Chains A and B, each alone.
Chain A
Amino acid sequence: MSALPRLSAIFLAAITTLVAVLLYSPLFVPIVSSFFTISHGNVDWSSPTLATYVALAENHDILAALRTTLIVGVCTVVLSVVSGTLLALYYHSRRSGRSLLQFIIFLPFLMPPIISGLALLIFFREIGLERSLLTVVIGHTVFVLAIVYRTVLMRLQSMSRTLVEASYDLGATGWQTFWRIILPNLSSAMVGGAILAFALSFDETMITILVTGTQSTLPVRLWAMMRLGFSPDINALVALILMFTVLLCVLAARFLIPRQVATERT
């Protein structure tokens, strides 16, 4: 591989850099510009400031939206981790209907969110459920369930079947085997899945707009702010959400990378 001719190596590096800059630099613009003041829609590059962040911290609407987002996120995580793990265990136990079940779980994740959102909206109206944070949590859970389910199922499938057999063989009951062997071996996958679920719930906009009641989550709030015009604290908000999401992804990766990496060190 290293025998790549020098010229083509330079060419490859140049292309890679160009693509990376074109694709990813827009992400950094709001972060950088959030540290400068904006007047008449233009960034004033001459005076760095934290004023936008101060403005953000004083914006009670934003803070309320943040609290809503966190409540929805936590509820979604709890619901999706519990049900995703149960569904993965059901699928893994090779009982009937597993393929259909898996298809249904993946459907909302693959469908356009606006379709999922509309379907939920119609459903909630039909059964007479008022739009509220509860409907948002349900919407988010339906959406992120596939991620948790998939993460847990993959860990379950990579777990040697003999672990469970060994546990029974040593005299454990089914209940003991579940709590002392299966669950501990799934825990890091469950934490990883939970973080991903939280990140997805945190950013979800389309379904939320359709099924929320009076309270709005952070992305929905951001959407509303954009419609009223571009204010400087939007930059700060985007920057914060970006950083938070990156942090979550790094965390999730730590829990989801196979254990073998740790093994090879020794």
Chain B
Amino acid sequence: MNQNTDLLTLRSVSKSYGTVPVLHDIDLSIRDGEFLTVLGPSGSGKTTVLRLIGGLEPLTSGEIRLDGQDISRMPINRRPFNTVFQDYALFPHLTVSGNVGYGLSVRHIQRKEIARRVAEALDLVQLGRFADRFPAQLSGGQRQRVALARALICQPRLILLDEPLAALDLELRRQMQVFLKSIQREIKTTFLFVTHDQEEAIGMADRICVMEAGHIRQLGTPHDLYYKPNCEFVARFFGENNLVAGKLGPIQGELRSIETALGRLVCSISNQPHLKAATDGASAYAAFRPEALHLADAKDTDNRFPGTISDMAFAGSSTVATITAGADNAAQRLRLRVPSRVDGSALKSGEAVSLSFAPHEGHLVLA
């Protein structure tokens, strides 16, 4: 269970349905024991990645290696992975314990042993009392946990989860996120979790793999993705962001300037060699989070520009201001997030303000 060794490696994996390509040359390494989330909008190919690994679909080209061994052609029922399906796929004619024990009983394991391990697995997912119920008699969250118990009872090397929380309501989904994460820590098994919900991804994943249009756009920790997105798609898709188009300017140490409609902005390029290497005048975006944007005061000398508050929206713990900045012919809509205050926000709709963000809180993405 060393998180630094690779459990599974996808090497230039492609997949087409007929002539329609859905995955282009995917390279991905899954580390032993990690919780890896594949995040992407629908149609990004994220479920296909999971189905290829699980063996539910054949590869078009490339290879999948488990512990260095090519398993691309290994039949699904011999791969040491188990899947939690989006619709749970519980067998309606079997009881909860029948479902959970299925993976053992098809391997002709002794009844006593099956009973013991089923009880153990049901305890783990806190469903011991429901062993004799049928799936139709369970709630959505309970079915979800049966599906999980059924997948982990065979002690797979990797558990594949295909948007398993999509059908649950918000409150239950949050509970299940915490629950899944705690189970994963307890059994120390690698989880590959597919979702389109970035909040879910941030909350659970050790690393996130962002996919779009059959390509992997970025793979990294939630923190990396949030603060150092490597492309426009990730910058826009992952969390709220302000993007202002411009042309790259000169480098000053760990900072680089960019000429935009809001004037010259300066952003951090630390630990991002590709931004250092980009030529002057290349198209790029300055990106800064709504919570990084603030009303400028005297000590803000960089990244300072005027704007008009066009709308204020109260969102509970925070309040979001929509701001129009820049000249009329190149007006930018920006968002600014401030903590809400009980006596109302100091910002007023229609007010002209001076705005700024700290250079180390801004980043650049190439267009």
Contact = CB atoms under 8 A, between A and B. Distances in A.
B180 interface: no
Interface in A229-265: 259, 262-263
Interface in B88-142: 89, 91-93, 102-103, 106-107, 136-137
A208 B107 CA distance: 50
Contacts of B86: 162
28 contacts: A160-B87, A162-B87, A162-B89, A165-B83, A166-B89, A167-B102, A167-B106, A168-B76, A169-B56, A169-B76, A169-B81, A170-B82, A170-B102, A170-B106, A170-B150, A171-B106, A171-B107, A172-B77, A172-B102, A172-B106, A173-B77, A173-B106, A180-B106, A181-B91, A185-B92, A185-B93, A263-B137, A266-B137
B54 interface: yes
A166 B85 contact: yes
Interface string B159-192: 0000000000000000000000000000000000
Contact of B56 (A165, A172, A180, A181): A165
Given A160-B89, A166-B91, A180-B106, A266 B136 contact: yes
B347 interface: no
A171 B77 CA distance: 4
A266 B87 CA distance: 19
Contacts of B76: 165, 168-169
Interface size class, chain B: 20 to 34
Interface string B44-80: 0000000000111000000000000000000111100
Contacts of B154: 170-171
A216 to B, nearest CB: 42
Nearest to B105: A180
Contacts of A173: 77, 106
A163 interface: yes
Contacts of B92: 185, 259
A213 interface: no
B136 A166 contact: no
A168 B77 contact: yes
A162 B85 contact: yes
A176 B107 CA distance: 10
A191 to B, nearest CB: 13
Chain A at the B interface: SS class: helix
Contacts of B93: 184-185
Contacts of A172: 77, 102, 106
A262 B56 CA distance: 32
Nearest to B139: A266
Contact of B136 (A170, A181, A262): A262
Q: Which 6 A-B pairs have the closest CB atoms?
A: A170-B103, A162-B89, A166-B89, A263-B136, A172-B106, A184-B93
Contacts of B107: 171
Interface size class, chain A: 20 to 34
A191 B136 CA distance: 21
A163 B86 CA distance: 11
B99 to A, nearest CB: 9
A171 B89 contact: no
Contacts of A176: 106
Contacts of A163: 89, 91
Contacts of A185: 91-93
A156 to B, nearest CB: 14
Contacts of B81: 169
Contacts of A184: 93
B106 A166 contact: no
A160 B274 CA distance: 47
Interface in B20-60: 54-56
A99 B78 CA distance: 35
Nearest to B107: A171
A169 B106 contact: no
Given A167-B102, A168-B56, A170-B154, 12 more contacts: A160-B89, A162-B85, A165-B85, A166-B85, A167-B106, A168-B77, A171-B106, A172-B77, A180-B106, A259-B136, A266-B136, A266-B137
A166 B103 CA distance: 10
Contacts of A263: 136-137
Nearest to A164: B89
A185 B137 CA distance: 17
**Which residue, of A163, A166, A172, A180, has the highest number of chain B Cβ atoms within 10 A?**
A166
A259 B135 CA distance: 12
A161 to B, nearest CB: 9
Nearest to A260: B136
Interface string A170-204: 11110010001100110000000000000000000
Contacts of B83: 165-166, 169
A167 B54 CA distance: 12
**Which residue, of A165, A169, A173, A185, has the highest number of chain B Cβ atoms within 10 A?**
A169
Nearest to A263: B136
Contacts of A162: 85-87, 89
A48 to B, nearest CB: 49
A167 B103 CA distance: 8
Contacts of B82: 169-170
A165 B93 CA distance: 16
B106 A165 contact: no
